[in-house]
């Protein structure tokens, strides 16, 4: 059974919506790109386009791997969809991919976004 946070991230992927949340004590503004599981945990590969990192530094465009059990106060927000432009290396955040915004995903997602 998926957590409520997992379901919210899946809804964000399907609707191409932003997520506002807190992660490791910092406010984050992200667009989830890949959702699934790794090492028994629900995880999301996201593009963080605003907010802060765990050190309190401003972030304006970085890949983030989020363990969803550590995400707090997550909510959807309508707004422009953001994703990183550089995909030089394969992602290692999510081992078993459930959803991927990329329609030609090389990760064989279990569900269609």
**Which range is least confidently modeled, 21-30, 32-41, 59-68, 102-111?**
102-111
Distance CA 78, CA 24 (A): 24
Helices (H), 1-113: 4-15
CA 33/CA 16 separation, integer angstroms? 9
Please enumerate in sequence order all residues whose Cβ is within 8 A of that of 18, keeping only pairs 6 or more positions apart, or say none: 12, 29, 30, 31, 49, 76, 77, 78, 79, 80, 81, 82
Rounded average pLDDT over 85-95: 79
Q: Where are the domains of the chain?
A: 4-100
Question: What is the pLDDT averaged over residues 41-52?
Answer: 97
Q: What is the mean pLDDT of residues 16-39?
A: 96
- Joined together, the tokens standing for residue 69 give 């059990």
* pLDDT tens for each residue of 91-102: 899 999 999 988
Helix (H, G, I), strand (E, B) or coil at 89: coil
Q: Pick from 16, 5, 46: which is nearest to 28 by CA?
A: 46
């Amino acid at each position: 059974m998926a957590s409520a946070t997992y379901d919210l991230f899946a809804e964000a992927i399907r609707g191409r919506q932003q997520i506002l949340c807190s992660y490791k004590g910092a406010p984050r503004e992200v667009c989830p790109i890949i959702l699934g599981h790794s090492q028994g945990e629900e995880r999301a590969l996201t593009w963080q386009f605003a907010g802060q990192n765990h050190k309190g530094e401003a972030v304006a465009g970085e890949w983030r791997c989020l363990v969803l059990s550590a995400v707090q106060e997550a909510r959807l927000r309508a707004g422009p969809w953001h994703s990183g432009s550089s995909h030089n290396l394969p992602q290692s955040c999510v081992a078993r991919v459930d959803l991927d915004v990329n329609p030609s995903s090389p990760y064989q997602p279990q569900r269609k976004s």
